[in-house]
Amino acid sequence: MLVRAPAACSDSDHPETSDAGTPVGGGIGAGQLVTAVAVVVSAGCYLLYLGRPGMLKWFDLGVYNHAGLIVRHHPARLYRWQLEPGIKFTYTPFAALIFAVGSKLSLTTLHWLMTLTSVAALALTGGLTFGGLGWRGARRATAAAALFAACLWLEPVVRALQLGQIELLLMLVIVWDLSLPDRRWWKGAGIGIAAGIKMVPLIFIPYLVLCGKFRQALVASGAMAVSVLAGFAVLPGDSAKWWLTGYFLHAGNTGDVSSLVNQSLYAVLARAMGGSTQATPVWLLTDVLVAGVGLSAAAVLHRRGQPVAGWVACAVTGLLVSPVSWDQHWVWLVPVLAVLADRAVRTRGWARAGYWGLTVVTVGTYTAWPSWWYGPHAFRTHYGLIGFFAGPHPYAEMYHLHGFQLVTWNLYAAGGVVMLGLAIATATRAWRSASTPDGTGGALAAPS
| Cα distances (Å, whole numbers) of residue 381 to 179, 261, 293, 329, 387 | 33, 13, 35, 16, 12
Cβ within 8 Å of residue 243, ≥6 positions away: 228
The answer, yes or no, to whether residue 264 has pLDDT greater than 90, is yes
Give the DSSP H/E element, type plus range, for residue 150. helix 137-151
Residue 262 φ/ψ, nearest 5 degrees: -90, 110
445 three-class SS: strand
Which is more confidently placed, 229 or 40? 229
Q: Of 11-20, 64-73, 104-113, 405-414, which gets the smallest average pLDDT?
A: 11-20
Output the pLDDT for position 19: 67
Which is more confidently placed, 163 or 53? 163
Considering the entire predicted model, what is its pTM? 0.89
Q: How far apart are CA 88 and CA 103, in angstroms?
A: 16
Mean pLDDT of 64-84: 90
User: CA angle 375-381-387, nearest 5°?
Assistant: 110
User: CA angle 3-9-15, nearest 5°?
Assistant: 75
Output the pLDDT for position 444: 41
Mean pLDDT of 126-135: 97
Residues 378-432: tens digit of each pLDDT: 667 778 888 765 555 667 778 888 888 888 899 999 999 999 999 999 999 999 8
Which one, of 117, 149, 116, 143, lies nearest residue 129 by Cα? 143
Q: How far apart are CA 204 and CA 178, in angstroms?
A: 10
Cβ within 8 Å of residue 268, ≥6 positions away: 410, 413
